[in-house]
Amino acid sequence: MIAENFYILAITLFSIGIVGVISRRNLFVVYMSIELMLSSVNLLLVTLSRLHNSLDGSVMALLLIAVIAGEASIFLAMIIQLYRSARSLDSDKFVDLAQIKGIR
């Protein structure tokens, strides 16, 4: 068991998360891709903590799990609100902030 495999796994998960955020338009898939990126950082923290035989990384991973839980609650509330306002899960429909008034 060498640490390189764990690094490769974490990098793969992070890249899959980026690909999901860029390429999909379903709000739920975007949400889960962000969760996946956070979890891959978690995996890297735990690997480094095991590598250095110190528990600081594990504690950081524990705190990051709490951050993930907070992010999930906010994001799901936002998805519910967006779905109520436009009856859609398409992230391309929510462009109110991307447009300048009068130009459209």
Partner 1 sequence: MLENNIFMVLSLFLVGGSVGMILFKETIFSSFSFLVAMLALAGVFALLNNSFIFLAQIMVSVGAVVVLGLMVILTLNRQDKNLPDESRKFMWILISAILVIPFALLLYKALSSLNLQFEEVDEGYGTLKMVGETLFSKWVLPFEAISILLLSAMVGAITIARKDNYSKKGDK
In the range 5-24, which residues lie near partner 1 by CB under 8 A? 5-9, 11-20, 22-24
Q: What is the x/- site pattern for partner 1, positions 56-85, by CB under 8 A?
A: x-xxxxxx-xxxxxxxxxx-xxxxxx-xxx
Task: Confirm or reject binding of residue 87 to partner 1 (CB under 8 A).
Answer: yes
Burial of 93 (C-beta count, 10 Å sphere; 0-12/13-18/19+):
middle
With CB under 8 A as the contact rule, the residue among 55, 98, 99, 100 that binds partner 1 is 55
Task: Confirm or reject binding of residue 41 to partner 1 (CB under 8 A).
Answer: no
End-to-end Cα separation, the chain, in angstroms? 57
Task: Confirm or reject binding of residue 34 to partner 1 (CB under 8 A).
Answer: no
Amino acid at 56: D
* DSSP-based three-state secondary structure for 26: strand
